[in-house]
Amino acid sequence: MTELLFNLQIDCESTQHALKDAALGERAIRGLGDILAATETKGTFFVIPGDIETHAVIYRELEKAGHEIGLHIHPAEEGANEFLGVQGADEQRRLISQAADRFAQAMGRRPVSFCPGYFSANDFTFGVLEELGFRHGAVSCPTRNLPQCASMWGASPLDPHYAHRYNRALSGDVDFVELPPTLDPDSRMWGGAHPMDLRVELVDAKNHWYTVDKAVRRQLAGKAPVKQIHALTHNVFEYGDRNNFRRETYLGIVQAARQIAGREGLTFQPSTLKEIAGAFRKASPLSTTSSTQPALDTRGRSFQQP
């Protein structure tokens, strides 16, 4: 029986200068730990260095409980320009490797998964991540078009893929499995700049149902090698409060994914992003893939002919 892998990504940044509320961050991750346990689902926490240093004990517990802990970065916290996507390769290498060192100090191991703030990246990013030993992550947000955050993704792949060495929006042969969040590219928000994605705090559970449904149908129709749903949120909401609306919304997303999986005859399989990347690597080994070779589109030429 085919599986529907399901993950919740949590970007953890409660110690950021803009927020500076480590107590809220702690309540949120403890609350999320409880919700993940109650729903029998798995989380991937992407954590900025300030948060990992403050809450290392809790992240070690979450890791022991089967969740994944990876690295998140907001470069302004390191005194650089806030957006990774405006930095050159050397600067990205320096910022990410310094943040990884702080992560390693706190967790006792190097991070292997990565997500940049704002999904801000450029054509250097995936090569740098591969070089630094990262294996997978959520770097892209397909169809997001936010130049003000250096987060421009065009029609980049919606499904898990190996990143391209020279072009962030294509699939290629970089030994890094890119796992974009689940989204509906046809449903636009923020004046068309951002797609409806499975961000818990974006809309209510009823709206998220349609995004899950459409994503599952699309993957089945396209015979995606791995069927998966990848929701996301941040550790800045009161997830510990039983009456919290975001908490209710997440419960609704899980219910939707379970129901749609059942309808399609898929087994609902709670997963970390590491496990989704592993399933993808198994189904599509890197050695058998080749970089996207865009075909020349000559349709425009016909207009020049008499």
Residues that bind Zn ion (CB under 5 A): 11, 13, 117
State in angstroms the smallest separation of the CB of 110 from Zn ion.
Answer: 20
11 or 77: CB nearest Zn ion: 11
State in angstroms the smallest separation of the CB of 225 from Zn ion.
Answer: 29
31 or 117: CB nearest Zn ion: 117
Contact of 115 with 139, CB cutoff 8 Å: yes
State in angstroms the smallest separation of the CB of 131 from Zn ion.
Answer: 23
Amino acid letter, 164: H
State in angstroms the smallest separation of the CB of 152 from Zn ion.
Answer: 17
State in angstroms the smallest separation of the CB of 117 from Zn ion.
Answer: 4
198 or 216: CB nearest Zn ion: 198
Ramachandran angles phi, psi of 113, nearest 5°: -125, 150
The CA distances from residue 56 to 45, 49, 50, 51, in Å, are 12, 10, 10, 8
State the sign of the Cα–Cα–Cα–Cα dihedral 200, 10, 228, 243.
Answer: negative
Contact of 212 with 198, CB cutoff 8 Å: yes
Ramachandran angles phi, psi of 48, nearest 5°: -75, 155
144 or 227: CB nearest Zn ion: 144
Nearest position to Zn ion, beta carbon:
117
8-41 burial code (b ≥16 CB/10 A, e <16):
bbbbbbbbbeeeeeeebbbbbbbbbbebbeebeb
11 or 159: CB nearest Zn ion: 11
121 or 205: CB nearest Zn ion: 121
DSSP for 252-289 reads HHHHHHHHHHHHTTPEEEE--HHHHHHHHHHHS-GGG-
| d(C-alpha 224, C-alpha 216), whole Å | 10
State in angstroms the smallest separation of the CB of 46 from Zn ion.
Answer: 8
Residue 78 structure tokens: 């390191």
